[in-house]
Every structure is written in C-alpha cells, then in structure tokens.
Chains A and B, each alone.
Chain A
Amino acid sequence: MAEQAAEHIGADALLTRVGALFHDVGKANNPNFFIENQAPGSLNTHDDIAPKKSAAIIIRHVTDGVQLARKFRLPKRIEDFILEHHGQLITRYQYNKALELASKKNSEVNINEFRYPGPNPRSRETALLMLADGVEARTRAQRPHNEEDLRTMIRGVIELAQKSGQWTIPN
C-alpha cells in the first residue's frame, strides 16, 4: 500500500517497501502483546494489565526495533522507518482507558506516558508509512463497507496525523 502510494507521488518506492517490511520488527520481542498475533477468541493480554504498562509495552516495539536494526546492521534509513512510523502519536486506546480509570479514582493521567518517542516523520517515505500503517489498522477495526466509508476513514487518519502536528503542509 505504502509502496504504491510512494510511486504515485514520486517518492522512493523501493525504500518505502523495505522500510515497511522492517518497521514493526520490534514486535518480535513481545509478539503476544500485539493484536495481530492474538488468535480470535483467546484473551487479549492487555485486558489484565494497567493501561500505562500496556502502553509502555506497545511503545517498546519502536525502541526494540531500533535495537534489532542496529544489532543486524540495517541501514540508518531503515531505522528511521522504525522510529518515525508512529511519530509522537499517542497510544489512544490505552490513554482513553487510563482516563476512564482515572476519572473513577479522581487521579490524573500524564499523557506523555502514552506517547511514542518519535521523532515525527522526517521524510515523505516515513510519513507515507505512518499513514499506510494507520489506515491499515483502522481498516481492520472498522471494516468499511464501501468506497465512501473507506475514503472518509483514510481522510480521518491523515487529519489526525496533521492535527497532532506530525507535519504541516508547505504553502
């Protein structure tokens, strides 16, 4: 998906493809904590642990990925995909859950504990991967039923990235 789009906007399609292949490699250290590795019906490991802790485990796939990339001497450019594909976005599911819990206990939540370390995408290729990754995840969750829904959903992902300051559009 990212590769195709890269081609259409004249970005480096091969780099995007390779970056996309490696971007989640850090998940290999904790595979059971990622929903795509959970068998249907089996329990979601995050249901049992505190949102803060579960966010930390999820966010770790970025830093674990970079460690793996260094260990196996992947090019620096591939590391960028690993680090930047979530930019400084928030793990929203866990953050919302934490807010819910906090409102019951009247305590406060530090949003920065739910934030990926970033940096935000610094190239068109890594920005593309962020969008493709976000769109793919949302497609699985929402299962859009027609092209209209699909388009609205994609716009939503782009908007979210823009609003949270992942980049601005040059004039």
Chain B
Amino acid sequence: MDNTQLTLRDLNTITDSFVTTLHGAYHPRINYPEMGQENPPIKMINIEIKSSVKQTIIPDMLEQAARATLILKYTSTDASLTVVLSNDSHLQELNRKYRGIDTPTDVLSFQRLKPILKLVRPT
C-alpha cells in the first residue's frame, strides 16, 4: 500500500508549488495582505439638495447609488463624489465656473485629489 516515495521535503516543495500556482490562477479572489488592507482607499460622498428642488427626494437612495458607483468604479484609489440636485441656472453657473462652458450640465469630473462633482438634474 504505502509505496509512494514522497519525502517530507517533497511535500513541502509541493505545498509551496501549489500555493504559487493557485495564487496565479485565483489572483482576483485572493487578497494580498499588502494590498490596501491597512490603508483602505478613502471614499467621500456629499449630497446637496438645493431648496429650489421641489420634488420628493429620498437621500438614502442617492447615497446608496453614490456608494455603489464609488466602490465599483474606484476599487483601489481614493475618490469622492458629490451629488447636487439643483435647477438649470445653478448647473449652468457651475459649468461656467469649472469648465468655462455657458450651458447647464449633468456631470463635472475632476482629477484625483480635487473634488469630483456629479450633478444630477431633477426631472
């Protein structure tokens, strides 16, 4: 029965080899200890609802959507997202201020380290 010649050293070598292979194959599933566990990327969410908005808004839903967007889009980097609910003239003002374009807009984005602003026009 016991006729397989594998030494203890072989078994250690095999273990190491399997670890290496599986690390490669299951790469997306295995968290590397050095990767972002001690310093998870920072995510910030701001929600601004201007008094000019008359529709009923559920802030929790906005927050959930913002959170999902940040987590899915920016897995390993810091990111912040501001949702502004306002009217066209305000959005036009913001667009003019940040991009020099004198029309209303839905989205303004900024490079990392500067705030990321996302504007949603209420329908």
Contact = CB atoms under 8 A, between A and B. Distances in A.
B33 interface: yes
A123 interface: yes
B15 interface: yes
Given A8-B14, A145-B31, A150 B4 contact: no
A135 B18 contact: yes
B5 A170 contact: yes
Contacts, number: 91
Contacts of A127: 4, 6
A155 interface: yes
A119 B1 CA distance: 8
A165 interface: yes
A165 B2 contact: yes
B18 A1 contact: yes
Given A124-B4, A127-B4, A147 B14 contact: no
A139 B26 CA distance: 9
Contacts of B20: 4
Interface residues of B, number: 28
Contacts of A123: 4
Interface string B30-62: 111100000000000000000000000000000
A5 B2 contact: no
A167 B4 contact: yes
A27 B13 CA distance: 30
Interface residues of A, number: 34
Nearest to A157: B18
A145 B23 CA distance: 10
Contacts of A5: 13-14, 17-18, 21
Nearest to A162: B11
Contacts of B16: 8
A162 to B, nearest CB: 9
A127 B4 CA distance: 7
A126 B14 CA distance: 13
Interface of A: 1, 4-5, 8-9, 119-124, 126-128, 131-132, 135, 139, 143-147, 150-151, 154-155, 158, 165-170
